[in-house]
Amino acid sequence: MKTLPRLCTNCILPETFPGVTFNQNGLCSHCQKADGKATKLSEDKRKYEQKFLELIKQVRMPAASQRPYDVLMAYSGGKDSTYTMSLLKNKYHLRVLAVSFDNGFVSDTAAENIRKVTDALQVDHIFFKPWWGLMKKIFAAAADHELYSKKTLERASTICTSCIGMVKSLCLKTAIEMDIPLIGYGWSPGQAPVQSSIMKTNPSLVRLSQQAIQKPLREVVGDAIDAYFLQDRHYAMTDRFPYNVHPMAWEYYHEGSLVEEIRKMGWVAPQDTDSNSTNCLLNAFGNDVHIKRHGFHPYVWEIANMVRDGVMTREDGYKKIYDEPQESFIALARNKLQV
**Binding region for Zn ion (CB under 5 A):** 8, 10-11, 13, 28, 31
Positive or negative CA dihedral for 114, 125, 213, 239? negative
Q: How far is the CB of 9 from Zn ion (least distance, A)?
A: 8
Name which of 31 and 175 has its Cβ closer to Zn ion.
31
In the bound state with Zn ion, the residue whose beta carbon lies nearer, of 10 and 283, is: 10
Q: Least distance from C-beta 255 to Zn ion, angstroms?
A: 20
Helix (H), strand (E) at residue 101: strand 96-101
For the CB of residue 27, give the shortest distance to Zn ion in the complex, in Å.
6
What are 83's strand-pairing partners? none
Give residue 117's Cα distance to chain centre: 19
> Which of 8, 245 has the CB closer to Zn ion?
8
Nearer to Zn ion, 29 or 209 (CB): 29
In angstroms, give the least distance from the CB of 185 to Zn ion: 26
Residue closer to Zn ion (CB basis): 274 or 302: 302
Instruction: Name the phi and psi angles at 71, rounded to 5.
Output: -145, 135
What distance in Å separates the CA atoms of residue 66 and residue 185, rounded to the nearest whole number?
24
Nearest Cα to 85, choosing from 321, 261, 240, 316? Answer: 261
Give the containing element (helix H, strand E) for 333. Answer: helix 327-337
Shortest distance (Å) from residue 155 CB to Zn ion: 16
Closest to 316 in 3D by CA, of 12, 14, 20, 4:
12
